[in-house]
Amino acid sequence: MPSRLVLVALGSVPRALLGDIGSALTQVYGPPVEVGPPQQRPSYAFNKDRNQYHSTAILRRLGQLRVEAAAPPVLGVTDVDIFIPDAPFVFGEADRDSRTAVVSLSRLAHGTDKKPAEPERVKRRAQVESVHELGHLLGLSHCQDAHCAMFLSHKPSDSDRKGPGLCGACRTALGLT
């Protein structure tokens, strides 16, 4: 387990929401979370054909924030819609090698009816998916327990069903029990 974690806003992400995400990460994993300097919206990752942002390009840029190998993991939080080439969208992506991850609020901020979700619901979804992506950075894979944060979400309601924490098996895998 790293001694600390770094959380970075990429674009228009409320600082209070970053604090809420940081609190959830510390509660689940233990280390304190520091909020790094905010970054601009990741225009360098924009794909005009898809009208979305390529998450892998964002991870490469976040990796540049880790100037030394011993630097803590970095989790970026953005308000733009992100994708990987073989999926229509992703809520987040993590790269264990670079120890960076990104979570997008774009689709988490809406319901299945495309209407904006209530702020408390968006906050909880952002916390759950941030715990999920950091879990990948720490070595966890997807979990079959639908209430574990490591369960794969395909739609915002999947995030609503998941708990903000890890199941016993995932906690044991990380040595947290």
Which residue in this structure is represented by tokens 């997807």? 142
Active site residue ranges:
133
Return the H-helix or E-strand segment holding 54. strand 52-54
By the 10 Å C-beta count (0-12 exposed, 13-18 middle, 19+ buried), 129 is classed as buried
Question: What's the CA angle centered on 169, arms 105 and 59, to 5 degrees?
Answer: 35
Torsion angle of C-alpha atoms 131, 132, 134, 139, degrees rounded to 10: 130
* Cα within 13 Å of Cα(149), Cβ side: 26
Structure-token match 């319901």, residue found: 111
